[in-house]
């Protein structure tokens, strides 16, 4: 079994999604979505290799990251030995390349 870790940016992504849904939708939906995203993240303890390489990263020959999906959200992670590091939880309706570039510039 793998151990899953959320990096700080991924935690911030989850809380940003939660706050956005809470402000723009019903309170019941924010809790449900947050729980489902956490469930998907935690599912990486079993078979994290089931994810696929994000096409935006594969095109530039970055193959260290995989992703799984929940609804429009993309969960990007990296497997190192028996540890899974979740780096981001992003809205798949947005441009991944732009989001990652902004994140790198922010670091």
As a whole number, mean pLDDT of residues 74-95 equals 93
Mean pLDDT of 38-54: 95
**CB-hemisphere CA count at 13 Å for 2?**
22
Would you state the pLDDT for residue 95? 79
Q: List pLDDT tens digits, range 17-37.
A: 999 999 998 778 989 999 999
Flag whether pLDDT at 66 surpasses 70.
yes
pLDDT at site 105:
52
Mean pLDDT estimate for the chain: 89
pTM for this model (two decimals): 0.89
pLDDT at 56: 84
Question: Rounded to an integer, what distance in angstroms lies between the CA atom of residue 48 and that of residue 71?
Answer: 18
- Rg of the chain's alpha carbons, rounded to an integer? 14
Q: Which range (32-36, 51-55, 56-60) has the least confidence?
A: 56-60
**Which residues on adjacent β-strands are paired with residue 77?**
66, 86
The structural domains of the chain, ordered by start, are 3-106 (3.30.2310.20)
């Amino acid at each position: 079994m793998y151990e899953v870790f959320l990096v700080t940016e991924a935690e911030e992504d989850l809380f940003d999604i939660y706050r956005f849904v809470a402000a723009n939708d019903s309170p019941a939906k924010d809790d449900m979505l947050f729980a489902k995203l956490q469930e998907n993240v935690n599912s990486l303890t079993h078979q994290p290799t089931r994810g696929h390489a994000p096409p935006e990263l594969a095109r530039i020959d970055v193959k260290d990251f995989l992703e799984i999906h929940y609804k429009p959200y993309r969960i990007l992670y990296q497997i190192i030995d028996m540890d899974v590091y979740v780096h981001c939880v992003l809205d798949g309706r947005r441009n991944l390349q732009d989001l990652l570039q902004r994140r790198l510039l922010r670091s």
